[in-house]
């Protein structure tokens, strides 16, 4: 076998090995995980002095493709509602601001009037959240945070 044929065969074998490694590396790099929520907190502030109160939910959402959005709903534990992922697709969205290529800080704020506050169930409330990544992956957290409505 001539030297040029040996080099060509070696090059093709080398290219196949490198191509296999590259393809495997690409497959590993392109495999994505679901978004993840961390540092979640909810706070209810009752209306006072004629001004509105509020419910505020904040969380950090991370995904390797970036964050597209976060849907949020609050519900009283006594109601036994327990919203599903499908139900969260049509609720209010939080405002999300990128803190890095992969993480966003999302904040959901709902103003509460004195009249609305008077009609709220007292006791523990839960916040359910549905995070959507830019690559389409989702993460549903049925009880992302809890807060108390008193008074």
pLDDT at position 54 is: 97
Q: What is the pTM of this model?
A: 0.78
Domain locations in the chain as residue ranges: 1-31, 36-149
Burial 76-86, CB ≥16 within 10 A → b, else e: eeeeeeebeee
Fold of 36-149: 2.20.130
Asked if residue 65 lies in contact with residue 30, where contact means CB atoms within 8 angstroms, the answer is no
Whole-number Å distance between alpha carbons of 50 and 53: 9
Rg (CA), the chain: 25
DSSP β-ladder status, 53-62 and 36-45: antiparallel
Give the pLDDT means over successive 10-residue stretches in the chain (151 positions): 39 36 41 88 95 97 97 95 95 97 97 96 97 97 97 74
* Of 145, 146, 136, residue with least CA distance to 69: 136
pLDDT at position 65 is: 96
């Amino acid at each position: 076998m001539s030297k040029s044929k040996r080099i060509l065969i070696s090059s093709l074998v080398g290219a196949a090995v490198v191509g296999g490694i590259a393809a495997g590396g690409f497959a590993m790099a392109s495999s994505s995980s679901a978004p993840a929520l961390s540092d979640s907190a909810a706070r209810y502030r009752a209306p006072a002095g004629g001004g509105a109160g509020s419910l505020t939910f904040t969380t950090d959402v991370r995904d390797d493709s970036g964050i597209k959005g976060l849907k949020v709903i609050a519900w009283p534990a006594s109601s036994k509602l327990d919203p599903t992922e499908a139900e969260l697709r049509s609720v209010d969205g939080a405002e999300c601001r990128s803190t890095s290529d992969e993480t966003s800080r999302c904040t959901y704020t709902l103003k509460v009037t004195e009249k609305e506050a008077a009609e709220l169930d007292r006791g523990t409330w839960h916040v359910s959240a549905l995070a959507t990544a830019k690559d389409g992956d989702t993460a549903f957290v049925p009880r992302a945070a809890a807060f108390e409505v008193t008074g």
